[in-house]
Amino acid sequence: MIRVLPLRVAIILFIIFVGYYFNFDKFEFEWTQISEICEEFVTEDGKIYATTECAKGSNLKENLKIDYLIYIPTLLLQIIITFCGS
């Protein structure tokens, strides 16, 4: 049981990693994400799952996806709630 536990944790983390970074439409990893509000989209017609891309918007920036996961105020709040709740 103890030998299998690290393998289970590694597989769970790998599944989360693939689910967060992998684009199943294009079958490639996407490391960045466009932030802010997109005002106009371009779609490919005739497909069931249309690929949409942002054509026009204000303050559009490409940020790494990891930046959305590591947000210091939220992490501190989670740590405080975890230690105060136990």
Q: Given a cut of 70, is residue 49 above it in pLDDT?
A: no
Q: Given a cut of 70, is residue 55 above it in pLDDT?
A: no
- Looking at beta carbons, which pairs linking 41-47 to residues 24 or more positions away fall under 8 Å? none
- 44: pLDDT confidence band, cut at 50, 70 and 90? low
User: How many beta carbons lie within 10 A of that of residue 35, not counting itself?
Assistant: 14
Quick one: what percent of the chain has pLDDT higher than 90?
A: 5
Classify 83 as helix, strand or coil: helix
- 11: pLDDT confidence band, cut at 50, 70 and 90? very high
- Looking at beta carbons, which pairs linking 40-49 to residues 24 or more positions away fall under 8 Å? 49/25
Q: Is the pTM of this model over 0.75?
A: no
**Cβ atoms of residues 52 and 38 within 8 Å:** no
Q: Provide the pLDDT for residue 75.
A: 84
Q: Alpha helix (H) ranges present in 1-86?
A: 5-21, 66-69, 72-85
